[in-house]
Structure 1
Amino acid sequence: MVDVILGLQWGDEGKGKIVDFFAPNYDVVARFQGGPNAGHTLYVGDKKVVLHQIPSGIFHQNTTNIIGGGVVLDPVTLKRECDLVASFGIDVKKNLFISERTNIIVPTHRALDKASELSKGDSKIGSTLKGIGPAYMDKTGRNAIRVGDLLDKSFTSQYIKLRLKHQKLLDNFHFIEDIAAWEDEFFEALDFLRTLNVVNSEYFINNQITAGKKVLAEGAQGSMLDIDFGTFPFVTSSNTISAGVCTGLGVSPKKINEVLGVTKAYCTRVGSGPFPTELFDEKGEELRKLGSEFGATTGRPRRCGWIDLVALKYTCMINGVTKIIMTKADILDSFEELQACTAYSIDGKQTQEVPFAISKVKIDPVLASHPGWHCDTSSIKDAANLPQNMSSYISFINDYVGAPVKYVSNGPGREQIVAL
């Protein structure tokens, strides 16, 4: 069977640590979508590591890690990460496997991403400029180059054909940046990629399942960034929800077991787009400071606000969440009073549904107050020792969203997590 861990907000929920925490219980960890716009932070000993492409189970020697066909892969980023992981004594050629169907991000994808974002001016969506959007566009346009193509003798002609197509588009944007240096690094990284384990991953992973292996599917970004169900058009280019596991890995919906959703105890967002509970005052600044809220991939300061239960209930619904893991609960330790959004007010009418045109309407959040616990929770190991007001806050969330919070993360360390 396959269990899933994914984000329930706008990404940055702390999925890397959570996958790393659960990985020892699984034989396989598989990334099913997204690209190097992901930034999964974990700690190896006392060292902070941010992974963008490699699954977060890589530091567990006996865990098989798979990059699935639903991922878009930047070979340059992958090579750098493999070098980083190798510095910790991990042999990636032993426990990292890449699907033949994984789409490759080429240098002109990055150029197109940058040119397109610059052309939008004030309407830009906040792209990470990693080439993800253009790579997925080539996938749906049936122009993509995939990892399996690297072993084909026609690869060079495929690449030239795609590059010429992109160059015409770049000319329309009047984009004149020289990408020759990008290509040198790219082709060097391709040579490295050819030395890794490239597999027919849908057979590979299903054979693992048939053999009784436990598989953990790792999502990137967050559910509110889903291309179909997120805050369109301020979304990513892939399906970040649990349905993406089936299309990204080639497994049947019948094989999905638990869906573990990760949410912060508050909300953050990087880049543009709707954010109903965003705080523009000193409380928002305090959340950003205490939570060190800066993007793991971009370094950009994250927008911060109170927890949005309307959006959280929505993402629990569309994902079929069976358990919630709440991260960064300790960041709220110093707050005397907390707020939680329980409804949206739109044109004077209240609703508990996420609207279709969320990016086009003015939303005033309806907030419910909750007393803070105002004590240090970072060293707590047992649920019985959590402050009463924190337990009450968690119960309130459970009741509203209809899915239980089963774990609370109270610090960045691997051991700082409390089972409820």
Structure 2
Amino acid sequence: MANVTVVGAQWGDEGKGKIVDWLSNRADVVVRFQGGHNAGHTLVVDGKVYKLALLPSGVVQGKTSVIGNGVVVDPWHLLGEIAKIADQGVAITPDVLILADNACLILPLHRDLDQAREAASSQKIGTTGRGIGPAYEDKVGRRAIRVADLADPDALKPKIERLLSHHGALRRGLGLPDADATELFDQLMEIAPKILAYAQPAWRVLDQAHKAGKRILFEGAQGSLLDVDHGTYPFVTSSNTVAGQAAAGSGMGPKGPGYVLGIVKAYTTRVGEGPFACELNDEVGTHLSTVGREVGVNTGRPRRCGWFDAVLVRQSVAINGIDGIALTKLDVLDGLKTLKICVGYKIGDRVLDYLPAGMRDQAAAEPVYEEIEGWSESTAGARSFKDLNANAIKYVRRVEELIGAPVALLSTSPERDDTILMRDPFAG
């Protein structure tokens, strides 16, 4: 049996939470390998809604859940999320949650810097303002505070001083007051025992699980088109969101991620700034937004909506090595008489079958559409492919052809069990 890596194949918000939760039933370990608490996952189990941002989705089912070294962790948010889900009857103990001891921390000064930069910039990136980007900057700058540092107060103090020597100039340049080293040290020491209770060498835990034949599910956050290398730069996140990061961000090695399942919404959405060739600002866009309930889980920001973009998803299939996709929110298309699928981009006198890297070309890209007949029958809640009407089946098959990957799972509502299994990812 294969391990499975789940990644978003668009700009995020594809419905990864539900799919990971569904797959968690058959997994032994669930791993987060990148990002921070800037991406929300919504799980609906027996009518009960769980909203997670940093915790792996497996915690709801009591599965061993790992926050890998590739994640940047706001320790205060983590403790708050643990407390919140505990209020819903889900107890998070060190037997369930494992936090990589070499993961880097998001500190209050990172949030300050994130928000101040966005406010001062004439070109908005669309950051959530939660400090994720600045935390990754400190990580690659080799000045970050890591989880393991909380266990060594004597070594932590000079590390804080070094960190603040860098941030001091930045803060003064943005009109922020200097950060207080003693205050930050005291804040970290206050939460250290609670955080360290979950800390372990995550790579070792995963290596032992792999050798024991456990099924490991790697849970990506955000989407491939927000990848810092492969996304619509600079309107991207600050980490690698593609499947290859599952190896580096967990310590499992390149063979660990196994079968790559790309999550793909039956239309396209995007939160925040950046190019979006297929965006609709008409009654169809309103339909997708309203019926699809397109509002950010964590931020409450409305999502921009548009037709399915096969060019982008085909590109994601290539850069992730996607073996199959989970197509979500098919039911949102119910009632639309005509559907459109983007099959190319017109830029000046050129027609491209890929998204170019340059900002100007991305902004100028106009979609080349193919039309397909819609349907009036409801697909909501369907649990068998034969329950779908003929036009819905044609739509699914055309999507497969255009993106070059088969549909492995088909989701027809937010409910966990409203999922059609067409190919088993864990079978490899």
TM-score (norm 1): 0.95
- Once the two structures are aligned, what percentage of the paired residues are identical? 41
CA 1:20–1:185 in structure 2 vs 1: closer, same or farther (change >3 Å)? Answer: farther
- Residue type matched to 2:209 in 1? Q
Q: Which residue of 2 is the match for residue 109 of structure 1? A: 110
Q: Which residue of 2 is the match for residue 273 of structure 1? A: 274
Q: Secondary structure at the match of 1:276?
A: coil
| Distance (whole Å) between structure 1 residues aligned to residue 94 and residue 20 of structure 2 | 21
State how 1:215-254 maps to structure 2 within 5 Å. Answer: 215-254=216-255
CA 1:393–1:29 in structure 2 vs 1: closer, same or farther (change >3 Å)? Answer: same
CA 1:43–1:177 in structure 2 vs 1: closer, same or farther (change >3 Å)? Answer: farther
Deviation at 1:360, TM superposition (A): 4.4
- Residue type matched to 2:290 in 1? K
Q: Which residue of 2 is the match for residue 416 of structure 1? A: 418
Q: Secondary structure at the match of 1:256?
A: coil
- Residue type matched to 1:396 in 2? R
Q: Which moved more, 1:302-311 or 1:158-167?
A: 158-167
Q: Secondary structure at the match of 2:319?
A: helix
Q: Which moved more, 1:77-86 or 1:16-25?
A: 77-86
Conservation of the 8 A alpha-carbon contact between 1:234 and 1:272:
yes
Q: Secondary structure at the match of 2:121?
A: helix
| Distance (whole Å) between structure 1 residues aligned to residue 110 and residue 383 of structure 2 | 46
State how 1:38-187 maps to structure 2 within 5 Å. Answer: 38-61=39-62, 63-87=63-87, 88-121=89-122, 123-153=123-153, 154-176=155-177
Q: Over residues 131-166 of structure 1, what are the superposed CA-to-partner deviations in whole Å (9 max), with x where a residue is unaligned?
A: 000000001100111111111132233224323432
Deviation at 1:177, TM superposition (A): 10
State how 1:293-308 maps to structure 2 within 5 Å. Answer: 293-308=294-309
Conservation of the 8 A alpha-carbon contact between 1:2 and 1:215:
yes
| Distance (whole Å) between structure 2 residues aligned to residue 224 and residue 22 of structure 1 | 23
| Distance (whole Å) between structure 2 residues aligned to residue 206 and residue 100 of structure 1 | 15
Q: Which residue of 2 is the match for residue 338 of structure 1? A: 339
Deviation at 1:323, TM superposition (A): 1.2
Q: Secondary structure at the match of 1:92?
A: coil
Q: Secondary structure at the match of 2:249?
A: helix
Cα RMSD (Å) of the superposition?
A: 1.8
| Distance (whole Å) between structure 1 residues aligned to residue 15 and residue 313 of structure 2 | 16
CA 1:417–1:177 in structure 2 vs 1: closer, same or farther (change >3 Å)? Answer: farther
CA 1:188–1:413 in structure 2 vs 1: closer, same or farther (change >3 Å)? Answer: farther
- Residue type matched to 1:416 in 2? D
CA 1:147–1:395 in structure 2 vs 1: closer, same or farther (change >3 Å)? Answer: same
| Distance (whole Å) between structure 2 residues aligned to residue 129 and residue 187 of structure 1 | 25
| Distance (whole Å) between structure 2 residues aligned to residue 158 and residue 2 of structure 1 | 38
CA 1:38–1:373 in structure 2 vs 1: closer, same or farther (change >3 Å)? Answer: same
| Distance (whole Å) between structure 2 residues aligned to residue 177 and residue 260 of structure 1 | 45
Unaligned runs of 5+ in 2: 423-428
Conservation of the 8 A alpha-carbon contact between 2:33 and 2:219:
yes
| Distance (whole Å) between structure 2 residues aligned to residue 380 and residue 251 of structure 1 | 37
Q: Which moved more, 1:295-304 or 1:157-166?
A: 157-166
| Distance (whole Å) between structure 2 residues aligned to residue 187 and residue 127 of structure 1 | 29
Conservation of the 8 A alpha-carbon contact between 1:107 and 1:186:
no
| Distance (whole Å) between structure 2 residues aligned to residue 371 and residue 386 of structure 1 | 14
- Residue type matched to 1:48 in 2? V
Q: Secondary structure at the match of 1:274?
A: coil
State how 1:10-25 maps to structure 2 within 5 Å. Answer: 10-25=11-26
Deviation at 1:85, TM superposition (A): 2.3
| Distance (whole Å) between structure 1 residues aligned to residue 242 and residue 128 of structure 2 | 20
CA 1:221–1:118 in structure 2 vs 1: closer, same or farther (change >3 Å)? Answer: same
| Distance (whole Å) between structure 1 residues aligned to residue 256 and residue 199 of structure 2 | 23
- Residue type matched to 1:397 in 2? V
| Distance (whole Å) between structure 2 residues aligned to residue 31 and residue 372 of structure 1 | 37
Q: Over residues 102-136 of structure 1, what are the superposed CA-to-partner deviations in whole Å (9 max), with x where a residue is unaligned?
A: 11001000001011111113x11000001000000
- Residue type matched to 2:405 in 1? A
Q: Which residue of 2 is the match for residue 389 of structure 1? A: 391
| Distance (whole Å) between structure 2 residues aligned to residue 200 and residue 48 of structure 1 | 31
CA 1:179–1:79 in structure 2 vs 1: closer, same or farther (change >3 Å)? Answer: farther
Deviation at 1:186, TM superposition (A): 6.2
Q: Which moved more, 1:66-75 or 1:251-260?
A: 251-260
User: Runs of 4+ in structure 1 displaced over 3 angstroms?
Assistant: 176-180, 182-191, 358-361
